[in-house]
A = this chain, B = another copy of it.
């Protein structure tokens, strides 16, 4: 397939189903992939934060990506996260993704090291030229502890390094300023918000789509939200977003005294997908703390309240 320019729509960051022993559960991943495509999503993003990329060995990353690409069979684009600390390591992840058949790559700024905007720009340029696939920048300060400067994104959009941006910064004001600038300069650049609670506002502001972790749980809801926005029916878009925002409370299912917010959110997505029959096992990768029975009950309640059970 030729890669859409710009990429638009709902592109869930696909969770990576695991077996109890921590291996990739390929049959569950295939089933989930089919389910998402069936729900009408416009692309799939494998090996992102919701995909537990930071927890997966390179081998498991390859296994998951290959399975998703094969199952997808070109029906929608498959974007592959190439999450690693710096350029040389990312280029190895990128080579793996190219071999596995990904349609585009998604890379963050360097992390673990301290970086300067000049270095961040160089990092993306080297990945783009080294890997040979459309490249999305993944702005996720909660993980990499650097906010992508607007000027860097604009420069990399203008010179063709980046095909788009997945903005998980939560900084909607900065995103708005970026959107206003991009529209003037590079209208084919794709802006996808990773902020799954403000998708109606982001689409109203001109974003092209959304990469919602919660889309693993309610892909149909996000597709409806996107379609309503495309049709200009903002009241419907807002109502759908409100329902999804209430559903998002399932990410607080875990007890903050015994686990991190990441364990709780990811555990809840997987517990929900398991309760919905989309995957066989809700396990998250160690050392994340699994949800206990009470937490799973809270997840079930949220699913029921959202009309999903």
Tell me the A residues contacting B by CB distance below 8 Å: 22, 49, 54-58, 60, 83, 85-89, 92, 110-116, 118-120, 122-123, 126, 142-145, 170-173, 176-177, 180, 195-198, 200-202, 204-206, 232, 234-235, 237-238, 241-242, 245-246, 248-249, 258-263, 285-289
Contact = CB atoms under 8 A, between A and B. Distances in A.
A238 B92 contact: no
Given A113-B143, A115-B260, A198-B172, A180 B57 contact: no
Contacts of A235: 232
A176 B87 CA distance: 35
B289 A89 contact: no
A261 to B, nearest CB: 6
A170 B169 CA distance: 11
A120 B173 contact: no
Contacts of A287: 86-87, 110, 115, 119-120, 122-123, 126
Contacts of A57: 88-89, 92
Contact of A116 (B237, B242, B263): B263
Contacts of A112: 49, 54, 83, 111, 143-144
B88 A285 contact: yes
A177 B245 contact: yes
A200 B195 contact: no
Contacts of A85: 54-55, 83
Q: Give 3 closest A-B pairs by Cβ, nearest first.
A: A201-B201, A116-B260, A122-B287
A52 to B, nearest CB: 8
Contacts of A246: 180
B55 A119 contact: no
Contacts of A234: 204, 232, 234
A232 B238 CA distance: 12
Given A241-B176, A242-B180, A262-B114, A205 B195 contact: no
A294 to B, nearest CB: 17
A126 B285 CA distance: 12
A263 B206 CA distance: 31
A36 B49 CA distance: 41
A137 B84 CA distance: 21
Nearest to A22: B88
Contact of A55 (B87, B201, B262): B87
Contact of A145 (B22, B118, B145): B145
Contact of A171 (B126, B170, B200): B170
A176 B245 contact: yes
Nearest to A235: B232
B259 A118 contact: yes
24 contacts: A49-B112, A49-B113, A54-B112, A55-B87, A55-B89, A56-B88, A56-B89, A60-B88, A86-B285, A113-B262, A114-B262, A115-B262, A116-B289, A119-B263, A126-B286, A170-B170, A170-B171, A170-B172, A173-B196, A176-B198, A177-B197, A198-B205, A206-B242, A234-B234
